[in-house]
Structure 1
Amino acid sequence: MPFDPDLDDELDADFPNAGTGADFAPITLQLAPAHCGQRLDKVVAGLVPQFSRSRLQQWFDDGHVTVDGKPAKGKGTAYGDETVLVLPQPAPEDTAYTPEAMALDIVHEDDAIMVINKPAGLVVHPGSGNWSGTLLNGLLHHCPQLVSVPRAGIVHRLDKDTSGLMVVGKTLEAQTDLVRQLQARTVKREYLALVWGTPRLSGTIDSPISRHPKDRVKMAVSNAPMAKPAITHYELLETGELDRRPVSLVQCRLETGRTHQIRVHMQSLGYALVGDTVYGKPHLMPFFHRQALQARRLGLSHPSTGEHMEWVVPLAADFAELLERVGIEEPEAA
């Protein structure tokens, strides 16, 4: 199932061999006259599409591709009568789809979907530097049939240090339906965030987001052509004080779900999240060990029955303790 590149929560992992029983046996290719004059790396990429071009390029660089017995350069030219030997090399991402036992806080589960209350500190999807110990690994252990569903049923994600609700499709049909609901912006996602300062009572932030032009770790509000639409509705719930500075508990409702959307949007108004080490001010970091953000409410139409379903979870213990420190009561679920 193709994922819309404009859909929420871009999943930045691309490993076509993961979970597919990749074969790393040597591959012998006999080039044909039709390949004459083409770049060698492009020819090889076309003949072994099961491996990404970036991985093939690494194998060229490391000497794992030879032409007529001699190390080959990807930028070289094919003449159409060579024998090319490719020696595939395993990479960490090849074990990304390994089931791993872990405790999952399952709020709801049936034959079609699973709703998880993700703890802060858990990475959702394998990626650079996190090829194991992710929610995906835990899902595959809990529900082995998810190996046949793209991304193990994951349709959206939460940042590593954001806690709260996520939905997983347990079948291809359920996952497809959930993706369509996200595309139609009918999935209800409400978050609670503690921010520095005192925003106005309510508002809508309709500001596109793209990668930060100078810091590739960050996202930023942008009018660049590549920026993607992003809309956040927020409401001020209550105010308090932390280290003699005003803080506010804000409820945010997402129409879209771009990477770091709430953190970027609130910071763009001048109200960075408490504990946010990426978008907050360095001298305010010691007051909380992560961004104070939780996906508290999730509502959707059940993919099989069409019934509207909704879940609310209490704040994570550390977030609840933070609210107590600042003199704000945890809001009751309406």
Structure 2
Amino acid sequence: MLKTDIISVEKFNSSVTFLKKEKIFIDIVHDDLDFLIINKSSNFVVHPGIKHTSGTLLNAILYYFPNNISLPRAGIVHRLDKNTTGLMIIAKTLNSYNYFIKILKKRKVIREYDAIVFGQIFSNNIINRPIKRHIYCRTKMMIHLGGKKAITHYTVINIFKNFTHLRLKLETGRTHQIRVHLNSIQHPLLGDPIYNSFRKITSKKIESSTSIFLKKILKKYTRQALHASFLKFKHPITSKIMKWEQQPPNDFKNVLNALYNNGYF
């Protein structure tokens, strides 16, 4: 008779329990018993990973809100890329976490972004192109017929000589959605180090028709020009309509100011 090994499998909260609490500054815009709204800075990773086991937003949440250790992802219900700034929702109870996941899926959270893109866009439009994980580079996303539905609305705010200031509204929330979508219509985000298939073309145009002052500002700008500027949804307990608007950080504003000084289209 063969000896049988008994294997016990214990379910746990996806490594959150094992992450350390870290005193990292968080810009809190709203705080009540059920959720937080924060204004995320650039160069700030949201979730820990192989390359970032500390110094993340999740580590900071565990320090200031230790009860969040019992929540999935410490209450983080959606994410922003490392160098994307702006408004994020953090749940503080399991009920509110489940509520936000639900209304995000039902597209009942209004999320709007400010963006500066290469090239001139003259009319408002919608990008409806499915997105999936890149076939060859697993850290990237791509447009693909076999991908998940992804819809981005954009409105033109101002048109400059080589750039356009857009306000974007997400209907879905795929990873890197805005960055992938804008690159797919040949208007990648200023400063995007990954999704800019037209870097050589845009660089030549800028070099030939841009003031020295603007060139200096653009040279200093090293991240994607994307800022989560607006949030709107119903409160999970009171059902009161809540909304927040957050101005972009100074580096983003400096680029916009330089663009205005360089002249409109």
C-alpha deviation, 1:95, in angstroms:
7.3
- Residue type at the aligned position of 1:108: H
Unaligned runs of 5+ in 1: 1-31, 36-42, 53-92, 330-334
Contact residue 238 and residue 328 of structure 1 kept, 8 A: no
Q: 2:107 aligns with which of 168, 185, 198?
A: 185
Q: Within the alignment, does 1:112 sit opposite 2:72 as a pair?
A: no
Name the structure 1 match of 2:141: 219
C-alpha deviation, 1:97, in angstroms:
2.4
Q: Within the alignment, does 1:307 sit opposite 2:240 as a pair?
A: yes
Alpha-carbon distance in 2 for matches of 1:176, 1:262: 25
Runs of 4+, deviation exceeding 3 Å: 32-35, 93-96, 281-287
Contact residue 44 and residue 56 of structure 2 kept, 8 A: yes
Q: 1:235 aligns with which of 151, 155, 166?
A: 155
Alpha-carbon distance in 2 for matches of 1:180, 1:328: 44
C-alpha deviation, 1:33, in angstroms:
4.7
Cα distance change, pair 146–199 in 1 and its aligned pair in 2 (3 A):
same
Name the structure 2 match of 1:320: 253
Alpha-carbon distance in 2 for matches of 1:167, 1:295: 11
Identity %: 40
Cα distance change, pair 49–282 in 1 and its aligned pair in 2 (3 A):
farther
C-alpha deviation, 1:200, in angstroms:
3.5
Name the structure 2 match of 1:12: none
Alpha-carbon distance in 1 for matches of 2:172, 2:11: 32
C-alpha deviation, 1:99, in angstroms:
1.1
Instruction: Give secondary structure in 1 for the equivalent of 2:238.
Output: coil
TM-score (norm 1): 0.69
Name the structure 2 match of 1:265: 181
Contact residue 274 and residue 287 of structure 1 kept, 8 A: no
TM-score (norm 2): 0.86
Name the structure 2 match of 1:138: 60
Contact residue 97 and residue 147 of structure 1 kept, 8 A: no
Alignment of 1:72-87 (within 5 A): none
- Residue type at the aligned position of 1:50: E
Alignment of 1:1-334 (within 5 A): 33=2, 47-50=7-10, 97-224=19-146, 227-241=147-161, 246-280=162-196, 281-283=198-200, 284=203, 286=219, 288-327=221-260
C-alpha deviation, 1:103, in angstroms:
1.1
Contact residue 96 and residue 137 of structure 1 kept, 8 A: no
Alpha-carbon distance in 2 for matches of 1:34, 1:222: 50
Aligned residues: 243
C-alpha deviation, 1:290, in angstroms:
0.1
Instruction: Give secondary structure in 2 for the equivalent of 1:252.
Output: strand
Alpha-carbon distance in 2 for matches of 1:113, 1:300: 12
Alpha-carbon distance in 2 for matches of 1:328, 1:193: 18
Higher relative contact order (CA 8 A, sep 6+): 2
Cα distance change, pair 96–119 in 1 and its aligned pair in 2 (3 A):
farther
| Bigger Rg, which one | 1
Cα distance change, pair 311–34 in 1 and its aligned pair in 2 (3 A):
farther
CA RMSD of aligned residues (A): 2.2
Contact residue 189 and residue 299 of structure 1 kept, 8 A: yes
Alpha-carbon distance in 2 for matches of 1:272, 1:303: 36
Cα distance change, pair 207–94 in 1 and its aligned pair in 2 (3 A):
closer
Instruction: Give secondary structure in 2 for the equivalent of 1:303.
Output: coil
Contact residue 126 and residue 134 of structure 1 kept, 8 A: yes
C-alpha deviation, 1:48, in angstroms:
3.6
- Residue type at the aligned position of 1:187: V
Question: CA deviation digits over 1:2-45, x for unaligned, max 9?
Answer: xxxxxxxxxxxxxxxxxxxxxxxxxxxxxx9585xxxxxxx77x
Cα distance change, pair 196–323 in 1 and its aligned pair in 2 (3 A):
same
Unaligned runs of 5+ in 2: 204-217
Alpha-carbon distance in 2 for matches of 1:287, 1:262: 23
